[in-house]
């Protein structure tokens, strides 16, 4: 059965002390064996420390927000998957729309990153999503299929065990403009159908697909009750312990 996951993508926010206080507050209010997997995606700088704080919590994991497509070597400023794994990271977020847009990451780059992450036994939260123009032009389904095909669909069935997909419509990220339950469910179902077509029903049924885009304590319950939505990738609302906890408790 697929996992329910609530992951907090902190982006480039929080100073060290603020980050550690936030983690402590969340941990103090969840059980050590949550039914929902909780993931913190802090800055690389705090990853090792936060992984240590979470180590007694079976269902709390730590993610990097990005990784290099390179293995190692003369790539000043880059962070490799090997480094993330050796700092006790569990996941890496790959293909966030901010990385695609501001850092010009292509599907080919992302596929290389996915390979590097899996080679280092990291799980991947692979993001996909369309712009508002693409949705208005009714090319959003094709766009998502292309992102999945080029970014992920060269993987084997076994490798797919370590993939979580996050559907994040770009127009909903950080805008307060959440997708409606129907829009989100429709796309999640489409993604699951793509998985079924490519890999068969077992992979399709077992892969967690998260919704991201202005998810908050008010709308999380309804979004998470949709058949094909298995949790959320949360930006802004993951920076406040009460909001994040309320989203975790929305299932």
Q: Which is nearer to ligand PEP, 7 or 50 (CB)?
A: 7
Residue 95 is a binding residue for ligand PEP (CB under 6 A) = no
Site residues for ligand PEP, window 164-203 (CB under 6 A)? 168, 173-174
Number of H helices, E strands in the chain: 12, 8
Q: How far is the CB of 118 from ligand PEP (least distance, A)?
A: 21
Q: For ligand PEP, which is the closer residue by CB, 69 or 100?
A: 100
Give the contacts of 213 (CB within 8 A, at least 6 positions apart): 129, 168, 169, 171, 172, 173, 175, 177, 178, 179
Q: Which residue of 87, 236, 245, 248 would you call a contact of ligand PEP, by CB under 6 A?
A: 236
Residues marked as catalytic: 96, 168
User: Structure tokens of 207?
Assistant: 């892969």
Q: Which of 42, 151, 169, 213 touches ligand PEP by CB under 6 A? A: 213
Residue for token digits 């596929």?
111
E-strand stretches of 77-180: 91-94, 123-128, 163-167
Applying CB under 6 A, does 243 fall inside the site for ligand PEP? no
Nearest distance, CB of residue 192 and ligand PEP, angstroms: 20
Residues in the chain: 251
Q: What is the largest CA-CA distance in the chain?
A: 48
How many amino acids of this chain bind ligand PEP (CB under 6 A)? 13
User: Per-residue x/- mask for ligand PEP, residues 124 to 163, rule CB under 6 A?
Assistant: ----------------------------------------
Selected range binding ligand PEP among 80-88, 194-202, 211-219, 243-251, rule: CB under 6 A? 211-219
Based on the shown chain and the rule CB under 6 A, indicate whether residue 214 belongs to the binding site for ligand PEP.
yes
Residue 128 per-residue DSSP state: E
The dihedral sign for the CA sequence 243, 6, 116, 72: positive
Question: For residues 89 and 212, which CB has a smaller minimum distance to ligand PEP in the complex?
Answer: 212
Pick from 235, 245, 247, 248: which binds ligand PEP (CB under 6 A)?
235
Binding segment toward ligand PEP, per CB under 6 A, in 18-26, 116-124, 189-197, 235-243: 235-243
Minimum distance of ligand PEP from residue 157's CB (angstroms): 27
- E-strand spans in the chain? 4-9, 36-41, 60-64, 91-94, 123-128, 163-167, 209-212, 231-234
> What's the rounded Cα separation, in Å, for the pair 122 and 64?
10
- With CB under 6 A as the contact rule, the residue among 111, 122, 215, 220 that binds ligand PEP is 215
Distance (Å, whole) CA 67 – CA 251: 30
Two structure tokens written together for 34: 């949550």
Residue nearest ligand PEP by beta-carbon distance: 235
Q: Where does this chain bind ligand PEP (CB under 6 A)? A: 9, 168, 173-174, 212-215, 233-237
């Amino acid at each position: 059965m697929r996992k329910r996951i609530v992951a907090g993508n902190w982006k480039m926010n929080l100073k060290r002390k603020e980050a550690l206080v936030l983690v402590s507050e969340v941990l103090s209010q969840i059980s050590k064996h949550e039914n929902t997997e909780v993931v913190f995606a802090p800055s690389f700088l705090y990853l090792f420390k936060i992984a240590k704080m979470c180590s007694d919590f079976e269902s709390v994991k730590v993610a990097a927000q990005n990784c290099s497509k390179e293995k190692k070597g003369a790539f000043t400023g880059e962070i490799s998957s090997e480094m993330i794994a050796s700092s006790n990271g569990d996941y890496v977020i790959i293909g966030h729309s901010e990385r695609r847009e501001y850092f010009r990451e292509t599907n080919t780059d992302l596929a290389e990153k996915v390979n590097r992450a899996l080679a280092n036994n990291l799980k991947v939260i692979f993001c996909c999503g369309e712009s508002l123009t693409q949705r208005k032009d009714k090319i959003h389904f094709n766009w998502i299929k292309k992102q999945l095909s080029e970014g992920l669909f060269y993987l084997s069935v076994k490798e797919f065990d370590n993939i979580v997909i996050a559907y994040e419509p770009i127009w909903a990220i950080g805008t307060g403009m959440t997708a409606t339950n129907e829009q989100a469910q429709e796309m999640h179902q489409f993604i699951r159908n793509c998985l079924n077509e490519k890999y068969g029903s077992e992979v399709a049924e077992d892969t967690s697909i998260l919704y991201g885009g202005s998810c908050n304590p008010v709308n999380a319950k309804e979004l998470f009750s949709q058949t094909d939505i298995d949790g959320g990738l949360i930006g802004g609302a993951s920076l406040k312990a009460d909001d994040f906890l309320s989203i975790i408790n929305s299932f």
